[in-house]
Structure 1
Amino acid sequence: MSSRWDEVKRIPIDEVAQRLGVPLSRRAGMRCPFPDHKDKNPSFSIDRKKNLCFCHGCGRGGSVIDFASIITGKSSSEVVSWLSQSIRQSKTSSHQYSRIAPAEEPETEDAQCVANPAIFDHFASLCPPAERGQQYLLNRGISEHTQKSFRIGFIGNSDDVLKRLLSKYGTAALVSCGLIFPDKAPELVFPSRSLLVPFVTGGEIVYFQSRSISNSTRRWMGLNGVRKLIFNQDAVSQAKNIYICEGVTDTLSATEMGLTAIGLTGASTTFSTNLLRSMRSKTAYIIPDNDEAGKAMEARVTALFRRAGIQFVVQRVPHGKDLNDYLVWRKQK
């Protein structure tokens, strides 16, 4: 047992903080990240050589186990169990401490492009729903009514779509809004034979994700250089109870079950100050996947909600890996 604890304590504190979604400054002092300490003066210090931390304001700190326990509100044993499982999983990859991302797609770098609702609306009109895409979602338990309400489209041939966009807007405009890659021959970031999911805020399309139904290596893709957004976040104003899901498919699944839900689309997805403020009068039901990524998502979001003063409940999926698995199983019963 002691060897497992010692192994966990050797995980760099920056790695643990990254998994929890807690930014740590490289400066000598920073504001305390502990959710119940409203630190007005920088009082938190980190000794990276010894892998220890301490807050001179609230008097707490210690090893990475202590750090994660205070952030998440979980016991030391629970933290050790979570992090040791993460170690076992990451040892199978090329990096010993690879981040566990609660995401369906690779993260993009810091936002370099900006959304263009006018171009996005035209792009969506070039990708209407298609029977192949509709049937894929029907097989996942997502009805045509739900598909229509979220304006799910389908990219048949990405080259044909790109030609029509280029003829109207030109290369520079498409690069600036993240629809094509820069510094290479024009290529749509979304592959052919993919579902197209628009993210609508205030009645305007501000982001897209695609879900390939034929390419296993590029399953979920987002706009290039545009910061990821929370899916269906306008729904927060519509209900007293909000369900927090992992990704688009689980959000559609929650909607299919009559729940008001939003979806996190990656580890870099952030809650805006306004969104957090609007959630303080509601109860958030966090629905993590039943895997390591789900545990990381749960830890990150619960820590954030504690800091923001949001009432929340963690709700487990009773069957399957995720909410969509549960929906399919329930409909087949």
Structure 2
Amino acid sequence: MKLFNCSHCGNRVFFENDHCDVCQKLLGFSADEMKMVAFEESPESPESAQGPIQRCGAPEQALPLRACANRASGVCNWLLPHDADHQYCISCRTTHTIPALSKPQNLEYWIKLERAKRHLVFTLLELGLPVPNKVEDPANGLSFEFLEDVSPEARVLTGHDEGVITLNIAEADDARREDIRTRMHEPYRTLLGHFRHEIGHYYWDRLVRDTPWIDGFRERFGDERADYAQALQRHYASPRADWAEDCVSVYASSHPWEDWAETWAHYLHLVDGLETAAAWGLRLDHAVPTGPALQARPVDPDDEQFVATVIEQWLPVSQFINAMDRSLGSLDSYPFVIVEPVVQKLAFVHQVVHHATHGLSPMNFAVPTPANQPTAAQ
């Protein structure tokens, strides 16, 4: 994540801020400009999303913006072009179903879910990947369903199906999510991790399925034509004992699709983590014992030596992060070991993304059909 500043007073602000703590101006993130915008409160805006916001000190030619309609409920801090024919930002337009807000705690869960999703969307936009929604592109768009268990017999399973990503809102409850993590013997379980994993399935369909990349995928991850249901059944009955030899997690060893999704999630971890470290000017004088100092660098999308980036940059930075966690009595933020086969899989993901976003390989996206954005279902 980049560092952000209030466009009015220059104070450091964070991606989640909806106002500046120093000058008290309202803040919103403009995805078109990839920056935080300070603006004034007025009778017409910002909370109602009616009319353009009043930017603080912006030049006359600055893009007129208005607040996402979900700002009024405290759910979103993003902005959108004032002349857009819809009410929601690019992230909120992918949300189709929200929790029933008649339950007070569900608003808090929805806020947490959307916050994690916006973090995901920011990274995807930085990478240059399309983030369509199913209203505008029914065939190839994204739709998020935030659902809750209504009975023990009707459990909501987090997963992906043809662009529809379902998340159980129980994952937004920190205590319940930690309980699940412990019971499932997982080293890591976060909301952002769920989003990054499930979006990996979506981009496999968009970037790898039925493309020239499929042979390289099968060489590294395995043959995805293996029966998925049977593979998961075998995994849960008896996980691979040697999974750590070529997979980033035990779940990655269950099926090639899951291996890709787990690797994709780690690629986004790496991209976002190194950008944050570089933005803060992180320098590690003891990155490698008796080795040279390390100045953190963001991932270069044109980097043809990505393997070196993983080994020379991400491994020391992630080790430093874990050391800080332990100093504060927290669990390791990155409790994973990256072995050589996983490094090669990460490099493959990087290559696929690079070719897709630079127009070197076609992506599986249909021409979108314009439509109006409906309000989210309850």
| More contact order relative to length (CA 8 Å, sep ≥ 6) | 1
User: TM-score normalized by structure 2?
Assistant: 0.26
